[in-house]
């Protein structure tokens, strides 16, 4: 069993914001593999099905971003998986819009949702897919992550979500190293 978690904030107010790009990718993967995310449990919504050849639980925590650890931990413990079977998908300010990065292990990079997951799980050696949302040139970072994508970004967003979903599928089908080789130099704007 694999546990695929898209990070975001619950509710319509946040649905199309930059901070919810993890939700968007997880929902895209679920849609492509006909997995409905309507079951309530693990302090979130989830569904179970096959992604590529892997039995996978896809989880959208409903605990708000900064408290994601309790939801992830509930699923992680209940499913009895190892850190290598956990994939977290989330937004990254330090990557320009359109960039993807896959990695295993490491710090939280200032991302409060990831910080909470690492703290609650007590481990950090799981797979992460970071999706670039860019950092504002000036202004409030919180306002930036909680705002919607610009008109220009919205035009490219479907392609970014498709590519991120393909990156996750590559992790599941060929492993992290192969996925890193294929997607860590990916730049939507090239």
Hey, which residues are catalytic here? Answer: 19
How far apart, in whole angstroms, are the C-alpha atoms of residue 125 and residue 7? 17
Number of H helices, E strands in the chain: 6, 7
Sign of CA dihedral 156, 162, 164, 170: negative
* Under 8 Å between Cβ of 120 and 69: yes
Please enumerate in sequence order all residues whose Cβ is within 8 A of that of 63, keeping only pairs 6 or more positions apart, or say none: 10, 43, 44, 70, 71
Other C-beta atoms lying within 10 Å of the C-beta of residue 186: 18
The CB-based long-range contact list for 36-45 (8 Å cut-off, 24+ gap) reads: 41/74, 41/75, 42/71, 42/72, 42/74, 42/75, 42/78, 43/70, 43/71, 43/74, 44/71, 44/75
Beta bridge partners of 92: 132
């Amino acid at each position: 069993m694999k546990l695929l978690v898209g990070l975001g904030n619950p509710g319509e107010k946040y649905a199309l914001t930059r901070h919810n790009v993890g939700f968007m990718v997880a929902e895209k993967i679920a849609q492509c593999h006909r997995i409905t995310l309507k079951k309530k449990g693990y302090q979130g919504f989830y569904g179970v099905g096959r992604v590529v050849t892997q039995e996978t639980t896809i989880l959208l925590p409903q605990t708000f971003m900064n408290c994601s650890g309790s939801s992830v931990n509930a699923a992680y413990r209940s499913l009895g998986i190892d850190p290598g079977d956990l994939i977290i998908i989330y937004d990254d300010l330090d990557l320009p819009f359109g960039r993807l990065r896959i990695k295993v292990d490491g710090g939280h990079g200032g991302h409060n949702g990831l910080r909470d997951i690492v703290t609650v799980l007590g481990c950090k050696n799981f797979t992460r897919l970071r999706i670039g949302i860019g950092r504002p040139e000036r202004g409030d970072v919180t306002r930036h992550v909680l705002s919607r994508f610009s008109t220009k970004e919205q035009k490219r967003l479907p392609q970014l979500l498709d590519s991120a979903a393909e990156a996750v599928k590559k992790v599941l089908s060929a492993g992290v190293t192969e996925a890193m080789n294929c997607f860590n130099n990916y730049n939507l704007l090239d």
